[in-house]
Amino acid sequence: MYVCVCNAITDKDIRRAAEAGATDLWALQSELGVATGCGSCKEMASEILHDVRRQRQVAQPQVYIPVMA
């Protein structure tokens, strides 16, 4: 599905960029060009980015390593 019509960027493009390490909207803007036109896609692009980051946190649970005093 196209998220950014101005730049022909899809949700899959955004998911791929997020999985490759994009952590915020600025990173998506510089990598993909999303939200660099009219800007109406900013909110949806951010939601997709945060969704991927949430999924990654669930998939990679934090490991607790106790520190000996």
* Residues making contact with ligand FES (CB under 6 A): 4-7, 34-41
Q: Which is nearer to ligand FES, 13 or 52 (CB)?
A: 13
What does the block give as tokens for 48?
A: 């997709």
Rounded to 10 degrees, what is the CA torsion of 22, 27, 31, 32?
90
- As measured in angstroms, the least distance from the Cβ of 57 to ligand FES is 27
Q: Which is nearer to ligand FES, 25 or 53 (CB)?
A: 25
Cα 64 from Cα 32, distance rounded (Å): 35
State whether residue 20 is helix, strand or coil: coil
Q: Which is nearer to ligand FES, 50 or 56 (CB)?
A: 50
